[in-house]
Amino acid sequence: MLHVVPAFSRIGEENAFAVLARAQALAAQGRDIINLGIGQPDMPTPPHVVEAGIKALRDGHHGYTPATGIPPLREAVARDIRRRHGVEVSPESVMIVPGGKVTMFMAILMFGEPGAEILYPDPGFPIYRSMIEYTGATPVPVPIREENGFAFSAAETLALITPRTRLLIVNSPANPTGGVTPKAEIDALVAGLAAHPDVAVLSDEIYGTMTYDGETHHSLLSYEAIRDRLIYLDGASKTYAMTGWRLGWSVWPKPLYDNARKLAVNAHSCVNAATQWAGIAALDGPQDCVAEMVAEFDRRRAIVVAGLNALPGVSCIAPKGAFYAFPNVSRTGWKAKALASTLLEEAGVATIGGPDFGVHGEGFLRLSYANSAENIRRALERMQGFLSERK
Ligand code: PLP
């Protein structure tokens, strides 16, 4: 009998991958499946970035790199942060990691232990809770409410802090809701954190380039008051359509940096060298590819929101960021997860049930609009037919 440590029984998953597998299995049987479940851009990585990766391989970048990343990429990240957030960070505080998830895992491993409490958004990216549970810490959900436009409420978040709170996870623009937390609310959150100097903050800004309706993203990096306890998470996956390359980066306060470096040495040694060179091309190259992608998402967003609001029993506030819509389906007569799985099986439309993102996700579905406008229209028509017939 093998004795795997009990922590593994507490590890969760992302149901999006199970939905993808089911959608692919149905497609393999010949069914026409429209996938609005998946959380990755449907566009290819920009060609100049692909070329830089190929060139790096041809130029012989085949070996290990420093665990913290190649210096020119760390410098490119610091330039990106200056350009986008108007903040100076030292390349010495930048760590290159194999995807945004790795920063998350490192931060949660550093602060999670039995007896500790970690605050995380609910509904939110399911991996936060999974990783917190793995460490034995107590996951404390911060409710993210439709009536707040799916933004964090500073007051509600601060009220959940106790003497055992070690880490607060913030995510804006957010998965799964598309919510963007306005500057005033972030100001209030940071002001309130002054009373809790022992609470570290992990700011997941992986969708930071994707905002709409004139909304702007406010990085927590721009708040000097919490810089000594802020872990900034970003990466290339969403912004440059590079999910499969595995490239993320983080900025760490000095006392935490070496812990992160040691975790990297123990876990993955370094990010794939060619990927790192491609990352420099992405960050330092022309940014119109990002603007074009965001403009395309914005066009689809309009189609999704209008289409969802026309469905019987469904309402959807316009998401301000990322590429997800989070419609309220509580008046359809369906439980959200049953609706998601029946839509897939019977109508051939893959979505994710809100409860897969936390207890406060009941009554909602997540639809990704990382699919063509044509497919989104077809999916909405199928949902219209389904909901009209199956009340
Ligand atoms: N953070 C959020 C909120 C996400 O939605 C995702 C991916 O879906 C990630 C982080 C992880 O990104 P990566 O693929 O770079 O690990």
Other CB atoms within a 10 A radius of the CB of residue 11 amount to: 11
Q: For residue 312, give the CATH number of its domain.
A: 3.90.1150.10
| Mean pLDDT value of segment 345-374 | 96
> For a pLDDT cut of 70, what percent of the chain falls above it?
100
Single-letter residue type at 90: S
| Confidence (pLDDT) at 44 | 96
Which atom of ligand 1 is least distant from the CA of 125? Answer: 3
Pair 79, 172 in one domain: yes
Pair 88, 24 in one domain: no
| Confidence (pLDDT) at 389 | 87
Pair 89, 218 in one domain: yes
Q: For residue 249, give the CATH number of its domain.
A: 3.40.640.10
Alpha-carbon span 94 to 293, nearest angstrom = 26
Whether 14 has a pLDDT exceeding 90, the answer reads: no
Ligand 1 interacting residues, C-beta cut-off 6 A: 39, 99-101, 125, 171, 175, 204, 206, 235, 237, 243, 248
Whether 190 has a pLDDT exceeding 90, the answer reads: yes
Pair 224, 349 in one domain: no
Which residue's CA lies nearest to atom 5 of ligand 1?
175
- Among 42, 238, 275, say which to mutate for ligand 1: greatest number of ligand atoms within 8 Å of CB: 238
Whether 245 has a pLDDT exceeding 90, the answer reads: yes
Over residues 70-94, the pLDDT tens digits come to 999 999 999 999 999 999 999 999 9
SS3 376: helix
Which run of H or E residues covers position 61?
none
Q: How far is the CA of 241 from the centre of ligand 1 (A)?
A: 12
Query: What average pLDDT does the chain have?
Result: 96
- Among 102, 106, 125, 356, say which to mutate for ligand 1: greatest number of ligand atoms within 8 Å of CB: 125
Does 49 map to a domain? no
| Mean pLDDT value of segment 209-226 | 96
Which atom of ligand 1 is least distant from the CA of 39? Answer: 8
| Mean pLDDT value of segment 176-190 | 97
In the listed set 284, 307, 328, which residue is the last one of a domain according to the structure?
Answer: 284
In the listed set 256, 284, 312, which residue is the last one of a domain according to the structure?
Answer: 284
| Confidence (pLDDT) at 16 | 84
Pair 86, 188 in one domain: yes
SS3 174: coil
Over residues 281-314, the pLDDT tens digits come to 999 999 999 999 999 999 999 999 999 999 999 9
Whether 391 has a pLDDT exceeding 70, the answer reads: no
Over residues 15-52, the pLDDT tens digits come to 888 898 999 999 999 999 999 998 889 999 999 999 99
Cis, bond preceding 123 (omega within 30 deg of 0): yes
Over residues 129-157, the pLDDT tens digits come to 999 999 999 999 999 999 999 999 999 99
Q: Report how far Cα 157 is from the mean position of its chain's Cα atoms.
A: 19
Pair 272, 374 in one domain: no
Q: Any alpha helices (H) in 181-320, and if so which ranges?
A: 183-193, 254-267, 273-284, 288-309
Pair 322, 184 in one domain: no
Boundaries of domain holding 315: 6-44+288-389
In the listed set 257, 284, 311, which residue is the last one of a domain according to the structure?
Answer: 284
| Confidence (pLDDT) at 81 | 98
| Confidence (pLDDT) at 15 | 86
| Confidence (pLDDT) at 98 | 98
| Mean pLDDT value of segment 201-215 | 97
Pair 280, 292 in one domain: no
Whether ipTM > 0.90 holds is yes
Pair 243, 143 in one domain: yes
Number of domains in the chain: 2
Pair 295, 216 in one domain: no
Does 302 map to a domain? yes
Which atom of ligand 1 is least distant from the CA of 171? Answer: 3
| Confidence (pLDDT) at 117 | 98
Which residue's CA lies nearest to atom 7 of ligand 1?
39
